[in-house]
Amino acid sequence: MSIAYTDADISFAFDGVEFSVPSISYGSITDTIPMHSHGAGCFEIHFNMSGYGRLVTGGKSYEIKPNTLYITGPHVEHAQIPLPHEAMQEYCIYLKTKKISQKKMSPLLNIFFSTPFWIGKDNFGVQAIIRQIFRELENKHTGYRKQIELLLAQLLVCLIRNYDSEKHTRDRFAPGNLTDSISIIIEKYFLYEYSSLSLNDLADRLKLSPRQTQRLIWKYYGKSFQQKKTEARMSAAAVLLKDQSKSISYIADTLGYSSAEHFSSAFRKYYNISPSEFRKLHK
C-alpha cells in the first residue's frame, strides 16, 4: 500500500523560519532509487518501518533495517537499495524552507541546518509523531491543519534531540524573556531543591559564573545565596515539622543536613526556638 499527500499545502513556522511541506508519503521501496540529491533548503525525513536495504551516500554504505531514521538534506547525494523480497516500508516527509525572518539563527535551528545528513535509531518519538500526522491527514477532523503544523514543529525538536542526544544541549534564553526566565529558574530552585542547594549548580543552570549569580540574587532579593539557602531550608522545615509522623532526624536528612543536631542548631538560630518546641506549639 502506498499513500502520498502532495497537494495538502501545509506550512509551519519554527523559531522564525517558515517551512513548506510539498510531500508526505508512505510506501514500499521495491526498486533501487538511484543516486540523487535535493536542492538548497530541502530536507527529506525518512523512517523505515519494516524491511531491509542499504543507503549509499558520501562514498559509504549504511544498513537500513526496521526503525531506522535518516535525514538527507541539501545537496546530499544518496541512493536507496532495497534487499530482494524484503522491501523497505518507509515514511517520508519532504521539508523546504520558505523564509528565514531572523538575522541570527536560534540554537535549535543551528543544529538542524548544520546536520545535512544523519542516520541512526530514533530515541525521541519521531515514529509516533509521523504516524499521528498521517492520521490527521486521513481523518481531517476539525482543526487538523493546525494540529499538523504543531506536530511538524514537534517533529523538528525530536529530530534535533536525536542529532544532539550525546551533547544534551540546553536551549539558550531568548532576549525578550531572559529576565523572566532567570527569575523563574531561581524561584523554583529555592522552592523545590532545598535539600541540595549549591551556588555552582545554580550558576551552571543560569549559564553564569558563581560571582554573577551571587550579584543577581542580591539584586533580586537583597540577600546572599547563603541567606536564601537558609531561608528556603527553614521554610521547608516549618512545614515538615507540622507532620507529627516525620522524625526530626528524617527531616534533617530531607533538608540536607549532616545530622539532627546540626539541623536543630540551625533551626534554633533562625527561629529562636528548637524544632521540638516548634512542633509542640503546632501540634
Question: What is the pLDDT, as a whole number, of residue 92?
Answer: 94
Stretch (H or E) spanning 199: helix 199-206
Provide, rounded to the nearest whole percent, the portion of the chain with pLDDT above 90. Answer: 52
172 belongs to a structural domain: no
168 belongs to a structural domain: no
Question: What is the pLDDT, as a whole number, of residue 175?
Answer: 43
The answer to whether residues 235 and 186 belong to one domain is yes
80 forms beta bridges with: 33, 55
Closest-CA residue to 98 (of 5, 11, 9, 7): 11
Distance linking the first and last C-alpha atoms of the chain: 70
Cα(260)–Cα(230) distance, integer angstroms:
16
Characterize 28-41 residue by residue with b for buried, 16 or more Cβ atoms within 10 angstroms of its Cβ, and e for exposed: ebeeeeeeeebeeb
Question: What is the pLDDT, as a whole number, of residue 205?
Answer: 85
Question: What is the pLDDT, as a whole number, of residue 181?
Answer: 65
Q: What CATH number did the domain enclosing 227 receive?
A: 1.10.10.60
Cα(37)–Cα(75) distance, integer angstroms:
5
Question: What is the pLDDT, as a whole number, of residue 86?
Answer: 86
The answer to whether residues 238 and 206 belong to one domain is yes
The answer to whether residues 86 and 194 belong to one domain is no
The answer to whether residues 26 and 130 belong to one domain is yes
What pTM does this model have?
Answer: 0.58
* Full domain range(s) for residue 27: 3-163
Q: Which amino acid appears at position 89 of this protein? A: Q
* Strand, coil or helix: 193: coil
Cα(263)–Cα(250) distance, integer angstroms:
11
Question: What is the pLDDT, as a whole number, of residue 110?
Answer: 87
Cα(57)–Cα(74) distance, integer angstroms:
13
48 belongs to a structural domain: yes
Ranges of residues in the chain whose predicted pLDDT is under 70: 1, 101-104, 165-181
The answer to whether residues 125 and 12 belong to one domain is yes
Residues in the chain, total: 283
Answer with the one of 105, 129, 163 that is the final residue of a domain.
163
How many domains, in total, are found in the chain?
2
The answer to whether residues 188 and 256 belong to one domain is yes
The answer to whether residues 138 and 49 belong to one domain is yes
171 belongs to a structural domain: no
The answer to whether residues 82 and 216 belong to one domain is no
The answer to whether residues 107 and 234 belong to one domain is no
The answer to whether residues 136 and 203 belong to one domain is no
Contact 237, 279 (CB under 8 A): no
Q: Which three cell numbers stand for residue 252?
A: 534533617
Cβ within 8 Å of residue 215, ≥6 positions away: none
Question: What is the pLDDT, as a whole number, of residue 164?
Answer: 77
The answer to whether residues 91 and 154 belong to one domain is yes
169 belongs to a structural domain: no
The answer to whether residues 117 and 192 belong to one domain is no
Question: What is the pLDDT, as a whole number, of residue 168?
Answer: 41
Closest-CA residue to 22 (of 38, 8, 43): 8
Q: What CATH number did the domain enclosing 24 receive?
A: 2.60.120.10
Question: What is the pLDDT, as a whole number, of residue 166?
Answer: 47
Answer with the one of 119, 140, 163 that is the final residue of a domain.
163
Characterize 55-94 residue by residue with b for buried, 16 or more Cβ atoms within 10 angstroms of its Cβ, and e for exposed: bbbeeeebebeeebbbbbbeebebebbbeeeebbbbbbbb
170 belongs to a structural domain: no
Instruction: Convert the pLDDT of each residue in 202-215 to its tens digit.
Output: 998 888 899 999 99
Q: Which three cell numbers stand for residue 143?
A: 482543526
Answer with the one of 137, 163, 189 that is the final residue of a domain.
163
